């Protein structure tokens, strides 16, 4: 549904189904926290989807498994004979896995850009200060004023600004507020997977050229099974996350979300330049681009506060 402002002086709005809305001047506005999809007294964004929760737990278990095999089967047994190699790769692996885990947590627990539910009221429409002939859209599913480039997610049950897609592996939508964390998650998992694959290959080479009993604290059959499973996991997720990372970078490069590409939507927004599009997601270029501890820029909140959940 869309609303068209018919007059600047009469505080009158007309909907596309000929339903008139009259707004009285001098209205006050209060802001209360919407606890929908929130937990821990509203501090974190939480989606209660059983499929997403299973995928999240599986993701954590796979990361923990890769750490177990890399440390206890490959790196720690080699510390006496290849100290520098073992220490360097242990530190690198721990850093990559920690950054991947933190990026995953931040993607999952960050509000992706949910539009407040039920804000398509006369008061809010009046507050927007529409120009004559300006059209706004209303989501029929969550009764929200639908900002430009927002889409409704059936899992989150909310409209999400610049929604790219809903990812069960992070149990959340990827949108305006958490796209940076999702990009970092795919990047660090891809690098971690390649690193694990290299360690597995080197370990196999080392064991072939020496006694299998000496290259691991576990029995040869157990060592082979653990390495094979880690190699398969690393190869699979290296391919998967590299593709996901590439599609995200392409979406940012073209200033077009995945759902906009899928629906082949005509661009009604003014496309940013490629560099400004990256700035909108990561901020000005610095080492903080690679940090999951820093938040993405959210300048739009100052301009359109009524479209942002508290």
Q: Would the CA dihedral through 73, 79, 80, 82 be positive or negative?
A: positive
Within 10 angstroms of residue 297's Cβ, the number of other Cβ atoms is 14
- Beta-carbon contacts of 239 under 8 Å, excluding residues fewer than 6 positions away, are none
Contact 145, 158 (CB under 8 A): no
Catalytic residue (one of 153, 167, 173, 215): 167
Take residue 196 and report the two structure tokens written for it.
């694990």
Within 10 angstroms of residue 123's Cβ, the number of other Cβ atoms is 13
Q: Would the CA dihedral through 200, 206, 209, 215 be positive or negative?
A: negative
Burial class (CB in 10 A: 0-12, 13-18, 19+), 262: exposed
14 bridge partner residues? 4, 20
Active site annotation includes 167:
yes
Please identify every residue annotated as catalytic. Answer: 167
């Amino acid at each position: 549904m869309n609303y068209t402002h018919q007059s600047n002086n009469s505080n009158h709005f007309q909907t596309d189904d000929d339903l008139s809305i009259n707004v009285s001047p001098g209205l006050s506005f209060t802001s209360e926290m919407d606890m929908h999809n929130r937990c821990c007294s509203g501090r974190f964004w939480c989606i209660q989807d059983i499929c997403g929760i299973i995928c999240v737990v599986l993701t954590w278990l796979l990361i923990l498994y890769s750490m177990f095999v890399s440390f206890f089967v490959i790196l720690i047994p080699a510390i006496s004979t290849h100290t520098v190699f073992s220490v360097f790769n242990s530190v690198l692996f721990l850093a990559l896995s920690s950054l991947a885990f933190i990026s995953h947590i931040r993607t999952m627990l960050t509000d992706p850009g949910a539009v407040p539910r039920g804000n398509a009221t006369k008061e809010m429409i009046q507050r927007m200060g529409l120009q004559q002939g300006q059209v706004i859209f209303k989501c029929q599913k969550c009764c929200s004023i639908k900002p430009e480039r927002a889409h409704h997610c059936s899992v989150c049950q909310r409209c999400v600004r610049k929604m790219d897609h809903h990812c069960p592996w992070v149990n959340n939508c990827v949108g305006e507020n958490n796209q940076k964390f999702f990009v970092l998650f795919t990047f660090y998992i891809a690098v971690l997977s390649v690193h694990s694959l290299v360690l597995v290959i080197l370990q196999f080479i080392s064991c072939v050229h020496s006694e299998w009993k000496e290259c691991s604290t576990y029995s040869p059959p157990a060592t082979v099974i653990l390495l094979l499973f880690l190699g398969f996991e690393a190869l699979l997720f290296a391919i998967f996350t590299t593709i996901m990372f590439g599609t995200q970078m392409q979406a940012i490069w073209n200033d077009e979300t995945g759902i906009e590409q899928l629906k082949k939507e005509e661009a009604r927004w003014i496309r940013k330049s490629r560099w400004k599009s990256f700035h909108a997601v990561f901020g000005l270029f610095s080492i903080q681009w690679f940090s999951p501890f820093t938040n993405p820029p959210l300048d739009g909140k100052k301009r359109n506060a009524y479209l942002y959940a508290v």
